[in-house]
Amino acid sequence: MKWANIQHVTGRAVTAATPSEPVRYEGYGPGGAAVLIECVTDDCSRTRADLRRAFNEHGGHLGADGSVSYLFNHVGLMTYLPGTDEDRLMHAALEAGAEDVVPNSDHSIEVLADPMEFETVRAILTHRGFAPAAAEVTERASLTTPLSGEPAERMVRLLEALEELDDVRNVYSNVEISDEVLARL
């Protein structure tokens, strides 16, 4: 299995006395992999400094607005476990208005839908007996950056460091890392 479109979701609640606002940051990890970070913060300067420090410590750097966001698509994503009848699911998904059905090497299946149509597509598929194992509106990389060896290990550490920051809610990357590298970590 390849680790592509890595997403870390922290799910932390925001409890600040001052108003917090959502903000996105973009950057590059080791090997040029794209990283998109969604935060909720009451101090953008502090958050940017924390992110810059994490990137610098792990061989990456923050980018300007728009530097990597064009590499990601906002999509509705439904994931089905291995063993799901691919042909039947594909037929039902396309009839329900899904944009694509993607079989994975581990035999799981992903159904992609326009975010505005996501709930409708999911409801129709569930009604037809295809309840997804996971379903969310997320960011999905339009192309991946394969990494191996030390750059891959540094990238995983960068993603973990970003996830640990208090203001970070979601981290998306276009990195593709082999199972062998992940097993070593």
23-37 tens-digit pLDDT: 999 999 999 999 999
Do 23 and 108 have their domain in common? Answer: no
CATH classification of the domain holding 63: 3.30.70.980
Same domain assignment for residues 49 and 84 = no
Residues 99, 117, single domain; the answer is: yes
Q: How confident is the model at residue 17 (pLDDT cuts 50, 70, 90)?
A: low
Q: Which helix (H) or strand (E) holds 68?
A: none
Question: 37 with 49, same domain?
Answer: yes
Provide the pLDDT for residue 12. Answer: 45
Domain that holds residue 170: 2-70+142-184
Is the pLDDT assigned to residue 59 strictly greater than 70? Answer: yes
Nearest alpha carbon to residue 181 among 157, 145, 149, 146: 149
What length is written for the chain?
185
Please give the radius of gyration of the chain, using alpha carbons only, rounded to the nearest integer: 18
Considering the domain architecture, whether residues 79 and 104 belong to the same structural domain is answered as yes
> Domain check: are 119 and 172 in the same one?
no
Shared-domain flag, residues 97 and 135: yes
Q: How confident is the model at residue 14 (pLDDT cuts 50, 70, 90)?
A: very low
Give yes or no: residues 86 and 55 share one domain.
no
* 162 within 8 A of 30, measured Cβ to Cβ: no
Rounded to 5°, the CA angle 79-12-70 comes to 55
Residue 150 and residue 29 in contact, taking contact as beta carbons nearer than 8 Å: no
How far is residue 126 from each of residues 58, 94, 101, 142, 143, measured CA to CA in Å? 42, 14, 15, 27, 29
